Amino acid sequence: MADSIGYYLESVFSLKDKVILFTGAAGGIGAAVCKAYAKAGAKLAICDIDERGLASLEQEIRSDAPDAPADKVMAFRLDLTDIVSIEACVNSVVDVYGRVDVLFNCAGINKREGILDVEESTYDRIMQINLKGLYFISQEVAKHMRKAGHGNIINMASHNSVGMLGGCSVYGATKSAVTALTRSMAVEWAKFGIRANAIAPGHILTPLTAVTWEHPTRGDYLRDRIAMRRPGQPEEIIGTALLLASDASSYMSGMMIHIDGGCLAGGAPWDFDTKYS
């Protein structure tokens, strides 16, 4: 019985031998999703600017699958602020694997400050990594996907794609743009067999957001705005990431899925008098 459930789930959600190029792999959400993708059968090209983080993720995935061939997981340095690095990374991945079936654009940065304080260098850096880099690595990978006649792109959007927090003006602008860009990719590239969707996490506890959750007042502010009254864990992104990378979502394109503990739904209510028996 357990086996038949396993076989059925595998037939729907398996990533067996899918080649996944994953940016921001060494980050909080990236590492959690990469480990899950490896367990679901994918071949992973893990890419990041953080080479130490990549090395430890690669080792962790390998120690889970000691008999797997060398191309089960391979690390590639990627600096999304540099077009030359983007092209080199994509070319290296295609040289090793011969193709990219799924591109997961997960890398992203933020710096929290008011609009009046944002300097041009900060603006440029967030734009370069979150939007321009994502744009051009997608373009580069899509050239190969087009030749192959199929492809699948997953972009990391954010709660800030639709609902803003103060101090996130540049970040929010990039994430709103990522949502729009996801639709453009879906519309323009469907004829090449490429689909594109986005994931919009709410408030997930990772190195990117720890500073907010640990803040004396901002952690409580967030809890009040989340129906479940807690941060999400990176592992809670895995289910949606599996859905979007697998053929289970073969008719989905141009969509954004929110994973936010009921934040957009309205947040946590104030106390009220209703008695439940």
Residues that bind ligand NAD (CB under 6 A): 23-24, 26-30, 48-50, 53, 78-81, 106-109, 129, 156, 158-159, 201, 203-204, 206-209
Instruction: Quote the least distance from Cβ 4 to ligand NAD, whole Å.
Output: 36
Q: Which of 167, 201 has the CB closer to ligand NAD?
A: 201
Instruction: State whether residue 179 is helix, strand or coil.
Output: helix
Taking the C-alpha atoms of residue 50 and residue 183, their distance in angstroms, rounded to an integer, is 29
Residue found under tokens 């590492």: 31
Residue found under tokens 């080479």: 51
Residue 104's CB is within 10 A of a number of other CB atoms, namely 26
Q: Which of 10, 156 has the CB closer to ligand NAD?
A: 156
Alpha helices, H only, 80-168: 83-97, 120-127, 133-148
Tally of CA atoms within 13 A in the half-sphere of 273 that contains its CB: 0
Instruction: Quote the least distance from Cβ 208 to ligand NAD, whole Å.
Output: 3
Q: Which of 190, 210 has the CB closer to ligand NAD?
A: 210
State both tokens at 168: 């996130």
Instruction: Quote the least distance from Cβ 128 to ligand NAD, whole Å.
Output: 7
Q: Which of 81, 92 has the CB closer to ligand NAD?
A: 81
Instruction: Quote the least distance from Cβ 217 to ligand NAD, whole Å.
Output: 18
Burial of 117 (0-12, 13-18, 19+ CB in 10 A): exposed
Q: Which of 19, 204 has the CB closer to ligand NAD?
A: 204
Residue 234's CB is within 10 A of a number of other CB atoms, namely 19
Q: Using CB atoms, what's the residue nearest to ligand NAD?
A: 27
Among 171, 221, 251, 276, the one annotated catalytic: 171
Q: Which of 40, 157 has the CB closer to ligand NAD?
A: 157
Instruction: State whether residue 116 is helix, strand or coil.
Output: helix
Instruction: Quote the least distance from Cβ 38 to ligand NAD, whole Å.
Output: 17
**H or E stretch including 154?**
strand 151-156
171 classed as catalytic: yes
Q: Is 155 left (phi over 0), alpha (psi -120 to 50) or beta?
A: beta
DSSP 51: H
Instruction: Quote the least distance from Cβ 28 to ligand NAD, whole Å.
Output: 4
Q: Percent helix, strand and coil across the chain, each rounded to 5?
A: 50, 15, 35
**H or E stretch including 257?**
strand 256-259
Active site residues per annotation: 171
